[in-house]
Amino acid sequence: MRPSLPLQLCHRQGEPGHGVLVRLARRSGRLDAYRFASFLGMDARRLLNGHDVTVVAELAGLSAADVSSWSPIVDPTARLVKLRGVTLADRDWSTHSRRYCPQCLAVDVRTARAEAMESGWVVHHRAIWDVSAIQSCPDHLCPLTDVCWHCGQRQGWRSTDLCHCCRCKADLTAGPIGHHLDPVGGYIAGRMMGWGSDCSVLDALPLNDALRLCMRLGQAMRIGSVYTLPRQDRPSVRGDNYGGRLSGNYDGR
């Protein structure tokens, strides 16, 4: 039988099941989300792969439908991840480490302060931060990162303090803020958030196909008209040209 919890959470827009687990642990005074999950008879690693979302939502007093709508459905056989009705290749989504937008976290802290709440009530993870194809926060246009600006430590899911480095405890909202235009990431985020776009050709395609079309067009633009385009692999399209190639063909218009 699972222990009942005295605290329940308010829903935060964009928060997946694994984010709820971390916030619930924080609100319950726990520093270690993995141990908290064990205390509840759950496995945090399963939650990080989209399992047991209903259970953690109910423990937190949240609507299971709301939390599920922001949680991934992982199909390891097909190597696909479904999130917000968008199907991603598994290489474009990951909870291996915890990415974050420092400015979104800072907004959460300010919101908590303005509402005279403890920050742990408000500071939350966003599902779109797990989409590695989204490089920048669509709201703040700063790069999403999974490392501490101060010591370089990659952030994981064990610590329940999302605003401070799990190793050196530096304030993750206090580092230098970069600026990186990411039109393709913005497009993906827009599809997930239901913002829509003015590009009906792309909107009509499954996301995977829309991204592949952008890449192929970008490749054709760079190398000119050829009978066949060279095969693309991950290293050839990542790096500094990845965003540029895609951006050349989708600029948000």
Residues that bind Zn ion (CB under 5 A): 101, 103-104, 137, 139-140, 148, 150-151, 153, 165, 167-168, 170
**From CA 41, how far away is CA 50, in angstroms rounded?**
16
Distances (CA, A) of 134 to 1, 147, 206, 253: 40, 16, 17, 18
Give the chain's count of helices (H) and strands (E).
12, 3
**From CA 141, how far away is CA 228, in angstroms rounded?**
35
Instruction: Report the residue number, 82 or 167, with the smaller CB distance to Zn ion.
Output: 167
Instruction: Report the residue number, 117 or 151, with the smaller CB distance to Zn ion.
Output: 151
**From CA 113, how far away is CA 155, in angstroms rounded?**
25
Q: What residues form DSSP beta bridges with 159?
A: 32
Q: How far is the CB of 150 from Zn ion (least distance, A)?
A: 5
Q: How far is the CB of 38 from Zn ion (least distance, A)?
A: 26
Q: SS3 for 169? A: coil
Instruction: Report the residue number, 67 or 189, with the smaller CB distance to Zn ion.
Output: 189
Instruction: Report the residue number, 68 or 153, with the smaller CB distance to Zn ion.
Output: 153
Instruction: Report the residue number, 135 or 249, with the smaller CB distance to Zn ion.
Output: 135
Q: What share of the chain is helix, strand, coil (3-state, %, to 5)?
A: 40, 10, 50
| b/e map 137-170, b = 16+ CB within 10 Å | bbebbbbbbbbbbeeeeebebbbbebbbbbeeeb
* 34 and 166 Cβ atoms separated by less than 8 Å: no
**From CA 204, how far away is CA 210, in angstroms rounded?**
8
Instruction: Report the residue number, 183 or 218, with the smaller CB distance to Zn ion.
Output: 183
Q: Comparing C-alpha atoms, which of 192, 78, 85, 75 is closest to residue 133?
A: 192
Instruction: Report the residue number, 140 or 158, with the smaller CB distance to Zn ion.
Output: 140
